[in-house]
Amino acid sequence: MRLTVTVRGSGSVIVYRSTSKGHVVRADSRRFDATAGETVSFDLPLKPFIDGGWYWFDVEGGHSELVLEDAQWGFETDRVRSGRVTIGITTFNRPEFCVAQLANLATNPAVLEILDEVVVVDQGTNKVVDDAGYADAAAGLGSKLRIIDQPNLGGSGGFSRAMNEAVSMGASDYVLLLDDDVVCELEGILRAVAFADLVKRPSLVGGQMFSLYDRSVMHAYGESIAKYRWFWGPVAPSVHGHDFAKKSLRSTSWMHRRIDVDYNGWWMCLIPTQVIREIGLSLPMFIKWDDAEFGLRAGAHGYPTVTLPGAAVWHVPWTEKDDTLDWQAYFHERNRLVSALLHSPYPHGGKLVRESLENHVKRLMSMQYGTGEIILMALQDVLDGPDRMHHDILNRLQEVRALRDRYDDGQFQSELDAFPSPRRRSRRSGARASPVPTTTVGKAKMAAMGLVRQALPTRELSAEHPEGIVPHVDQRWYRLAHFDSAIVSTADGVAASWYRRDPGQFRDQMTRSVAMHARLYKEWDELAERWRSALPELTSPERWKLTFEGIDAE
């Protein structure tokens, strides 16, 4: 690397590097004493960075001030052409966010220079083109902007359309996927393209995610899949929600290690078009797991994913959401199982089938029967096989919502006053008097007690009055299992539902759940072969074209 700086005044520029352990080493320095601007370069080797580490520089004044006028990190390359990019934005009823993003893209000449097109796939009813600021934003991008209207096919349908458009046009080297509710730092786009231009093998280049509302908080440094239990999370040793206002890069030792990811979220992800031509578009998953599955599929074809520090977006944080309880629970369950059938290296998916059953039991013990029913729907759809996936991306959302709305946990009131006041025959009954387990043994004991309760009749008054009010932060299954009814608030705090225990519902769903999970475990290898055989057709542009047009070819 070559660091070139221009300074004016008296003082020093000191270049540091860190090791993968987070230790700081002084790499080089220069002293200055010049009234006019002076430019110097530092040639810095990359050999010590196999396991990680950073370069940075400090500017320190001397007997008078030292002014930094310019600085550039550079490199030597025989690549003389920058890659071209199509930006794909999927939006659903967020026109103000989307228009602001379009206006922002038009402000950077360097981005416009490498930009072939911005494709906005509008799947909502509140259209981007109807927003008051759209005309000005469109004028800034001119012929580089294209709006496409299509049915609501979720993130996977919107981003698949953007991928397909970029490949079909034939000019772009990359398609950059961006969520509609992000603020993108344009320098990050330039860095992502430059990095993708220079990698030894074609790679997906992802950006990190910071909180739009708390700008110093980094929600996602890098993502991985825990293969044995088949669930996503921060790649070790990173953590979600790191706050740079409290702990800087220099004092965060894990951040100096090299981080290898399995995939990058599609809040910002640059994908080479040659990868799309080879492996196809996204699976028709609607939402959840589409980005993870695509990253795993690309990796299996020899195309790794890199999450690049310095390429990032500010994103609406997920901290005030709980999409494991609402209609999205269907997509979580189905798509987690589908992606595991396609990519899990373990017999029977490792721990996944057992975890799926445990999760369903917890929902039933928590009186979340609506969520439990749509989880069973997801299980059945997986067992039915891949043939219905494109049909379901057009139809399943409405069916899932209608099914969940029939249950108490799917019905909401915006005010607690809408519910009867809490009452119970004995103040010692219910979860208020139950302990909170902190060990595995304690949780097992609590689970056993909760299971026994499911076979007992409900207590007096619980059908007419809730036994308590449970804030969302406290709605753990081992607490709710000891209520016969309770008012439970949503994650965002804008509504609440009245959960009621129903022994009949518990028995019915448990019976079906055990049978379905047993079948899933027994037929895992056969199902995996069916799903893997269907993958090329499910992800083909030809099959997707029918779905983009709203044609149900089941």
pLDDT tens digits, residue range 129-180? Answer: 999 999 999 999 999 999 999 999 999 999 999 999 999 998 999 999 999 9
Q: Say how far apart CA 498 and CA 417 lie, in whole Å.
A: 12
pLDDT recorded at residue 554: 61
User: Is the dihedral angle over the CA atoms 122, 204, 317, 293 positive or is it negative?
Assistant: positive
The most confident of the ranges 74-83, 364-373, 421-430 is 364-373
Question: For the chain, which domains are there?
Answer: 2-74 (no CATH), 85-315 (3.90.550.60), 328-511 (no CATH)
For every residue of 345-356, which 3-state class applies, written as one string? CCHHHCCHHHHH
Determine whether 458 is exposed, middle or buried from the number of CB atoms within 10 Å of its CB (0-12, 13-18, 19+): middle
pLDDT at 412 over 60: yes
Across the range 234-248, mean pLDDT stands at 93
Q: Residue 360's CB: how many other CB atoms inside 10 A?
A: 24
pLDDT recorded at residue 322: 73
Q: What are phi and psi of 185, to 5 degrees?
A: -80, 115
pTM, two decimal places: 0.92
Q: What is the mean pLDDT of the chain?
A: 92
pLDDT recorded at residue 426: 58
Across the range 262-280, mean pLDDT stands at 97
pLDDT recorded at residue 546: 94
pLDDT at 91 over 60: yes
Q: Say how far apart CA 428 and CA 430 lie, in whole Å.
A: 7
Length of the chain: 554
Q: Residue 152's CB: how many other CB atoms inside 10 A?
A: 17
pLDDT recorded at residue 458: 84
pLDDT recorded at residue 320: 66
- The answer to whether the CB of 211 falls within 8 A of the CB of 317 is yes
pLDDT at 429 over 50: no
pLDDT recorded at residue 188: 95
- Catalytic residue numbers read 291
pLDDT recorded at residue 431: 44
pLDDT recorded at residue 430: 45
Q: Say how far apart CA 55 and CA 41 lie, in whole Å.
A: 14
Q: What are phi and psi of 17, to 5 degrees?
A: -135, 160
| 432 pLDDT tier (thresholds 50, 70, 90) | very low
DSSP classification of residue 386? G
| 479 pLDDT tier (thresholds 50, 70, 90) | confident
Q: Say how far apart CA 478 and CA 448 lie, in whole Å.
A: 10
DSSP classification of residue 413? B
